[in-house]
Amino acid sequence: MTKTAVVTGASSGIGAATARRLAAEGYRVVLVARRKERLETLAAELGEAARPVALDVTDAAAVQAFADGLESCDVLVNNAGGAVGLDYVAVADPADWRTMYEVNVLGSLYFTQALLPKLVASGAGTIVMMSSTAGHNTYEGGAGYAAAKHGSHVMAETLRLELFDKPVRVIEIAPGMVKTEEFALNRFGGDADRAASVYAGVAEPLVAEDVADCVAWAVTRPAHVNVDLMVVRPRAQASNYKVHRVVEKPVTE
């Protein structure tokens, strides 16, 4: 029987790439995000394998109603998330922190709670938590995002303990620098120059397809194999701090 994968944050970036990959692996993919038009475009591209569902992952009632209407679920990819701002703790806007916690952590909580009975009933369920290297370290200005992603990491670790006797595995994927259409743009409120500076001089940052490849590999291992945690960075990024950037030399006469 065709397996069903629910991917949140599927309207762009890692979520969309993951949906494409899982569809290519033979899954029926449920595409979840707020932006209906983008989901419909992706669903049209993927054909019968995909179903778009427009909802806000921070709306617990909407998530539960969606889950109630779903026939079965084999894989849940808790991917919806993102960063807002890069401000020092001293001046950070609590509203940004609240948004990041709600989307990255509570959104995953709502989906996990709502779909867990179906994941257990599948007999071989998988929950993928998309955390970040910011879920394992931090950096100046990153406290709000790192706190939220540490939350994703802790949720994965705790769930794995709590589900130890259930047929559901919990996989955490922690990407470092991934150049996507929107991550940095969203972080900087649409400031394209500031967003571009994040990747300045990095010849080959990861792209969404690289992370989707990690998800697809981990999810398609035999059901008894649990890839607990996969940390993935571009070769040019040895740590959140240490990034190899090729600086263009100024033209001299």
Nearest residue to ligand 8X3, by Cβ distance, number only: 132
Residue length, the chain?
A: 253
Rounded to the nearest 5 degrees, what angle is found at the Cα of 152, between the Cα atoms of 147 and 158? 120
Q: Is 99 in the site for ligand 8X3 (CB under 6 A)?
A: no
Helix (H, G, I), strand (E, B) or coil at 176: coil
Instruction: Name the minimum Å distance from CB 107 to ligand 8X3.
Output: 15
Among 139, 145, 199, 241, the one annotated catalytic: 145
Considering only 13, 52, 107, 142, the residue that binds ligand 8X3 (CB under 6 A) is: 142
Residue of 23, 134, 148, 243 interacting with ligand 8X3 (CB under 6 A) = 134
Determine if 240 is a binding residue for ligand 8X3 (CB under 6 A): yes
Q: Please select the residue that binds ligand 8X3; options are 112, 122, 133, 152, rule is CB under 6 A.
A: 133
Binding to ligand 8X3, residues 26-65 (CB under 6 A): none
Give the interface segment with ligand 8X3, choosing from 94-102, 110-118, 129-137, 161-169 (CB under 6 A): 129-137
The answer to whether 43 and 52 are in contact (CB under 8 A) is yes
Q: How many CB atoms lie within 10 A of CB 134?
A: 25
118-to-17, 55, 87, 111, 122 alpha-carbon distances in Å: 24, 19, 40, 11, 6
15 binds ligand 8X3 (CB under 6 A): no
Q: By CB under 6 A, is residue 100 in contact with ligand 8X3?
A: no
* Contact call for residues 131 and 145 (beta carbons, < 8 A): no
Q: Is 176 in the site for ligand 8X3 (CB under 6 A)?
A: yes
Question: CB of 133: closest distance to ligand 8X3 in angstroms?
Answer: 5
Residue matched to tokens 């026939």: 71
Nearest CB to ligand 8X3, comparing residues 85 and 175:
175
Asked if 84 and 100 count as a contact pair (C-beta separation under 8 A), the reply is yes
Question: What are the backbone dihedrals phi and psi of residue 249, each rounded to the nearest 5 degrees, phi first?
Answer: -75, 140
Q: How far is CA 226 from CA 25, 155, 201, in A?
A: 18, 16, 36
Closer of 75 and 134 to ligand 8X3 (Cβ):
134
Question: Is residue 145 annotated as a catalytic residue, yes or no?
Answer: yes
Choice between 108 and 240, CB closer to ligand 8X3: 240
Q: Are 206 and 232 in contact (CB under 8 A)?
A: yes
* Most distant pair of Cα atoms in the chain: their distance: 71
| Interaction residues for ligand 8X3, span 144-173 (CB under 6 A) | 145
Residues acting as catalytic residues: 145
Which residues here bind ligand 8X3, judged by CB under 6 A? 132-134, 142, 145, 175-176, 240
